[in-house]
């Protein structure tokens, strides 16, 4: 069976570190073209824009988008109108309105789409979801704290309107929580700290509750020093399960558990190939909706300017 011919739009750090290795390791895909204004991807035809790729490049069946969320909407629309399946890095767009429009366009185009919440594919997430079955979940605690200078050096778009700030990593935690919990999650209150020279928060505290009244609290920090932390604790009537390292490590009441060794991005691309084979889409928007609600109801505090 012929591999899915894939084009990649955007070739920054996340594409170089995660997408391209996962694509090349999966025989279901063939990376045939990259569109970027930056450095070209070795061994692949290079184009300066999606328009050029579609007009002059090799035939592609699907396109993965790794550009910043601002301005991505028009690019994904262009690919969908050209009849291409799409994988869209998180968050899919800068606004819920744009994202809902993309969902409609995917349906109209008769193609497959994936809003790529990559953290949902961490090996511990499926394990935790299975563990929760038959248990009464009492409350959830989230700590997601990392150093932006390490993971996103020089990426000013993160601090601009639509760049999400601390929610750029925080939305990963929210994508896991919403995958694990059976009920919708709603924001009751939020506290956002915004540097004076930025438009997006650098820290956030969220108080949430599910439709079934399970309490969920989250602490996000994008300027955390040593001992970075990506942790979710699920307290049930039958013990506590903890996801560490973004879902790569699991323990139950302190006892380490054995997990599959497949990484997030390889599992995500395997899922994308399965969606295409089955003619389905996976376009969940709950993580982005929670972020939008946090901005809507959250109190904002001005803090010291942020500098690289």
Q: Which residue numbers are catalytic?
A: 90
- Beta strand 85-89 pairing with 113-116: parallel
Pairing state between β 203-210 and 185-195: antiparallel
- Comparing CA positions, the residue from 36, 212, 228, 213 lying closest to residue 148 is 228
Q: Is 212 strand, coil or helix?
A: coil
Query: CA-based angle 264:210:140, to the nearest 5?
Result: 60
Chain centroid to CA 19: 13
Residue 142, SS3?
strand
Beta bridge partners of 116: 89
d(CA 210, CA 197): 34
Beta carbons of 49 and 22 less than 8 angstroms apart = no
| 48 neighbors 37 (Cβ within 8 angstroms) | yes
Q: How many residues does the chain have?
A: 308
DSSP string, 254-301: TEE-------HHHHHHHHHHHHHHHT--B---HHHHHHHHHHHH-EEE
């Amino acid at each position: 069976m012929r591999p899915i011919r894939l084009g990649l739009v955007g070739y920054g750090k996340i594409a170089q570190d995660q997408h391209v290795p996962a694509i090349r390791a999966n025989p279901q895909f063939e990376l045939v073209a990259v569109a970027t204004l930056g450095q070209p991807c070795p061994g692949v035809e290079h184009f300066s824009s999606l328009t050029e790729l579609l007009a002059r490049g090799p035939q592609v069946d699907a396109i993965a988008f790794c550009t910043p969320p601002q301005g991505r909407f028009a690019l994904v629309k262009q690919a969908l109108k050209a009849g291409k399946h799409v994988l869209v890095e998180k968050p899919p767009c800068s606004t819920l309105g744009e994202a809902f429009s993309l969902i409609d366009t995917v349906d109209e185009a008769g193609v497959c789409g994936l809003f790529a919440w990559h953290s949902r594919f961490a090996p511990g997430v499926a394990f935790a979801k299975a563990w929760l079955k038959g248990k009464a979940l009492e409350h959830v605690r989230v700590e997601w704290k990392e150093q932006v200078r390490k993971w996103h050096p020089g990426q000013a778009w993160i601090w601009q309107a639509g760049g999400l700030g601390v929610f750029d990593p925080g939305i990963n935690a929210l994508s896991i929580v919403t995958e694990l919990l059976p009920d919708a999650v709603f924001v009751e209150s939020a506290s956002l700290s915004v540097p004076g020279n930025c438009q997006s928060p650098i820290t956030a505290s969220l108080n949430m509750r599910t439709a079934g009244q399970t309490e969920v609290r989250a602490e996000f920090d994008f300027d955390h020093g040593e001992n970075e932390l990506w942790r979710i604790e699920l307290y049930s009537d039958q013990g506590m399960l903890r996801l560490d390292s973004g879902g790569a490590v699991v323990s139950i009441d302190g006892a380490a558990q054995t997990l599959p060794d497949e990484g997030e991005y390889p599992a995500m691309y395997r899922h994308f190939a399965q969606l295409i084979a089955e003619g389905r889409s996976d376009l969940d928007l709950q993580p982005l909706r929670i972020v939008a609600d946090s901005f809507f109801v959250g109190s904002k505090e001005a803090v010291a300017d942020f500098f690289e």
